Amino acid sequence: MLMPTPLKKVMGEYLEAGFEIYLVGGGVRNLMMGKTPENCDLTTNATPEESLELLKMQSPFYNNDFGTVSYNVDVNGREELYEITTYRSEKEYSDFRRPDNVSWGKTLEEDVTRRDFTVNAMVVGRGRSQVLDQRSEGAWELIDLVNGLADFEKGLIRAVGDPRLRFGEDALRMMRAIRFASKLGFTIEEKTLLAIEEKSELLAKISKERIREEFLRILGSPYPADGVLMLLSTGLIKQFLPEMLECKNVLQGGHHRLTVLEHMLESLRECPSSDPIIRFATLIHDIGKPRSQRFKCRKCGKMFRDLSEEMTTCANCGFLQPTKGMVTFYGHEVVGEKMAKEIVERLKFNGKQMEKVITLVRWHMFAYQPDMTDAAIRRLIRKVGKENINDMVMLRIADRKGSGAKTTSWRFMELQKRIGEQLFEPMEINDMVVNGRDVMEVLKVEPGPIIGKILKELFEEVLEDTGKNEREYLLKRIRELKND
């Protein structure tokens, strides 16, 4: 087993002091997959006070109600967080989020049976030859009291004990089940899945911040689209992103063979970025389509809000025509921008994340023509933001592939090339070689609105022609603008 030296050292210290201690959770899964555990979670029969005393040389900290003592450890030059938690025994969860009371457990069995999923309830430790299942290598043993090994080998996420009780204790565990499935490429066991469907409304009891973080972990996993599909099929997504359900049966027509929902899921699947924020923007990039859907009469051009039949007669000109192919989504990116703002505010994203998601949704439809001037490319970059333009390219690649198109085209490659060429040209007023002090000095005026007005006019010229970003020319223009 690939037990890192600091891990073996701390476990050895507990054992020498007469305590039990076991590696648990993700660290055990890493060992099972031949990986070295990182940011390890451990469980022990030592109380928090005993752990603080035992670890006093490592500057531990303890500021919670759950018996977890934490400390930072250097592993091959990389800082990791080790968390050591006292065996726990939990009873009632009246708020579906956290136990009403936490009492310290006496045995490993007590601690293991309160955990969420069998693949997370296996532990690695020493000296328990009486356990039900163990796989030894030297002094370290895999200890499995809940048949987690069998589930791991079958690729199953199964709740420990009664899944309805587990999800009633902490409703966020339902999202965690999906996160582990999308992270590991596993399937959720049937009874566990049914319990999620049955208890899905309990997710409304969980804070939006916790839901957001779990959702971003799903989006950051190796199989994000599969994770979102599970959120949809279980009903969980209705509790925090109900707008997705509006897209379910919305056909797009034209070259699109998929519904809006199917297209957004395929775009997510094809997204070349691993950043969960960009993946989130990709997932909801067409969220405004259902609310901007219109149908256009082929004969007179009259627009209709809703058509439910396969054939329809235009109320304006009386022309009978098939509904298919009449659909339009004009302005859906503007509608989507407003919806994206509501969504990220509801889920309490931070300001930087909000700005990125809203911007990517708003501008994902930008059109490129080969005859666009360099100034037009710079204006596009300015609208989207230098910090967002490469992310926008990632979204466009995902959008193309999610529609069944090739990853790129000559037109798209040319756009990427031209964006790269313009990225280092002046994009902001601060990029000019003159500033407000220069304006005040030339005009002999005090600070006031005129300064900003002139700088803005100068910048419009520079944005149109970067060759004008010369100090002598701009000082001359300041004097001319004064006279104007």
CA–CA dist 354, 341 (Å, integer): 7
Q: Residue 103 pairs with which residues in a beta bridge? A: 89
Question: Which of 46-55, 148-157, 193-202, 254-263 is the least confident region?
Answer: 254-263
Whole-model pTM: value is 0.85
229-262: pLDDT as tens digits: 999 999 999 999 999 999 998 887 666 678 999 9
Residue 463 predicted with pLDDT over 90: yes
Q: Is 412 exposed, middle or buried (0-12, 13-18, 19+ CB in 10 A)?
A: middle
351-394: pLDDT as tens digits: 999 999 999 999 999 878 888 999 999 999 999 999 999 999 99
295-318: pLDDT as tens digits: 777 777 777 665 556 667 777 787
70-128: pLDDT as tens digits: 988 888 888 889 999 999 876 665 555 565 567 788 899 999 998 999 999 999 998 65
**Count, residues in the chain:** 484
State which amino acid sits at residue 277.
I
CA–CA dist 260, 266 (Å, integer): 10
CA–CA dist 11, 16 (Å, integer): 9
